[in-house]
Amino acid sequence: MTLRSYLEGSWRAGTGEGVPVADAVTGEIVTLVTSEGLDLAAAVTYARRTGLAALGELTFPQRAAALKAAALALQERRQELYDLSARAGATRGDAAVDVDGGIGTALVYASLARKGLPDHTLIAEDDPVPLGKGGTFAGRHILTTPHGISLQINAFNFPVWGMLEKLAPALLAGLPTIVKPATPTAYIAAHAVRIMEEALPPGAIQLVAGNISGLFDLLGGQDHIGFTGSVATAARLRSDPAVTRRSARFNAEADSLNCSVLGPDAVPGQPEFDLFADALITEMTVKAGQKCTAIRRAFVPANLIDAVTGAVEARLARVVVGAPGAGGVTMGALVGLAQREDVRAAVARLRSAGSLIHGDPDKVEVVGADAERGAFLSPLLLRVDDVARPEPHEVEAFGPVSTLMPYGDIADLPELIARGKGSLAGSVVSYDRDFVRQIVLGAAAHHGRILVLDRDSAGESTGHGTPMPQLVHGGPGRAGGGEEEGGLRAVYAHLQRTAIQGGPAALDSIVK
C-alpha cells in the first residue's frame, strides 16, 4: 500500500509506517505515504548530472516536443486520472479542471516554445547595444540554463495541473524537476508521472512522495523553488538559508482572499446580475471550493444585497452534494476529514463577524455516500454587514464558503478590496465602463489578475477562478508575491540573464 517515489529513474518505496491517505468519499485507506529511507541527496545529484545533461543536449523546440509527447500520453490515459481524482472527492467536472487543464497548459507551452523560442539552447534576448563611439564595443543580454534543478512543492487541490504548470516552463528552460506533491493527493500526481516518464529525457522528472526534510540543505543559487500552498508555509520556506543565504530562486503562489465586485448598474433583470450570482456559485462548488483563486469576498451594492442574497440562495438550493458519479451530484467532497475540520473552524470565526445565511457546517445531505465517513460539507454562504470587521478580510475558509458584504460609496471600494492584503484573482461584474475602469485601476496594485465580466464577454470568458497559461498567475502580499505562467515569461524566469560585452563579432560568435 506504500506509495512509491520515482527517483533516479526507478520507482522506490520508503520505509516506516507512513502517513495514511484516506478516500475522501468512503474513508477507506488508499495508500501510505513515506519518504523515509530514500536518498534525496542522490536524487538531487542525479538531476544535476543526468537530467541537466539530457536536457542540455536538446534545443528549445526539441524540449517542446518532449513536453508535447508527455502531455499527449496523459491525454490518452486521462480516464485513469479521473478515476483516481474521484477518490479525492472530485466530480468529473472537477477532475477535468485539474487533468484537462494541466494537459492543456502543457500543450500551450509546447506550442509557445515551438513558435517563440529559437532552435538553440540559449536565447539572445536583445540586439547588440553600442557602448562606444567607434562601433567596436557593444553589449547584449543572453539567457542560459542554470546548473541546477527545479524543486516544485505543490498543494493538494490540483495534483495534475499544479505539477504541469510548473514542469512545463522548467523543462523548456532545461532544468530537471523534482516534484514534491501534497500528501493527500500524492497518489494522483505519482500516477501522472508514471504515465509521462517514458516520454521525457532521463532525469527530467523525479517525484518524492512524503517528507523532503534535508533537501533544502542541498539547494543554492543555481536552483529554482516553486511553491503553492498556505501563506504560513510560504513564509517558513522563504526564510530557509537556501533562499536567504544561498539565493535559490523562490516563487510562491499562496491562498488569498479573492474578491468579486458587483457594479451598481447590475440590478435584477440585467445580465450582469445573473452572471455575478452564477460565478459565485461556480467558485463555491467547483473542487468543493478548494481553489486558491475562489471568490471569498463578494462586494455588493448595499441596495442590492437582499436581492443578491436571494438569487444566490436559490442557486445553492439546487446544489447536490455527494459521491462523484452518483446521480445528480454537482459537488463532491473535500479532500479529507482534517480539511473539513479546518474549514469548520474558519467558518466559526467568520460567523463571529456576521451571519450564516445558507448551509449548515455540521450537517449535510449526501447522495451515494455516508456523510460522516466522507469529507462532505454543505456549501456555506455568509453575510457580514459591518465591513470594518477584520474577519472576512483575514480568515479564509478553504472550501465551499463565500461571504457577501455590502458597500455604499464606490470610493470606499478600493480600500475594502485592499484589506485582503494581496490577491491572486479578482473580478468586476458590470456593464458600466467608468465603474469598471475605476475599480480595476484602484485594485490592480493588489492583484495578480482581474477579470472584467459582462454580457459582451461572458460567452467566451474562462471565469473568475481559472488561470490561463498565457497570462501571469500569482499576486502580491498575502498571495505570495510570486508570478507563474504568463507564457514564455515563466520560461525566462527559470533562466539566467547575463549581460555580455565585447566586440560585435565576438558577441555574434557567442550566440550563433
The angle subtended at Cα 331 by Cα 470 and Cα 328, nearest 5°, is 120
Half-sphere exposure of 364 (CA within 13 A, CB side): 33
**Pair 402, 283: CB distance under 8 Å:** yes
How many Cβ atoms from other residues are within 10 Å of residue 458's Cβ? 16
Beta strand 224-229 with 123-124 is unpaired
Residue whose grid cell is 485507506 = 29
- Region of 481 on the Ramachandran plot (φ > 0 left; ψ -120 to 50 alpha; else beta): left
C-alpha cell at 102: 494541466
Could you tell me which residues are beta bridge partners of residue 252? 227
Backbone angles phi, psi at 208, to 5 degrees: -110, 115
Q: What is the DSSP string of 203-224?
A: TSEEE--S--TTSGGG--TT-E
Share of the chain residues as helix, strand and coil, in percent rounded to the nearest 5:
40, 20, 40
Q: Classify 333 as helix, strand or coil.
A: coil
- Region of 478 on the Ramachandran plot (φ > 0 left; ψ -120 to 50 alpha; else beta): alpha
The CA R_g of the chain, rounded to the nearest whole Å, is 24
**Of residues 253, 272, 396, 484, which has the active-site annotation?**
253
Q: Is 259 annotated in the active site?
A: no
Compute the distance between CA of residue 269 and CA of residue 455 in angstroms, rounded to an integer: 12
**Of residues 292, 483, 484, 485, which has the active-site annotation?**
292
Q: Is 253 annotated in the active site?
A: yes
How many Cβ atoms from other residues are within 10 Å of residue 268's Cβ? 12
Catalytic residues: 253, 292
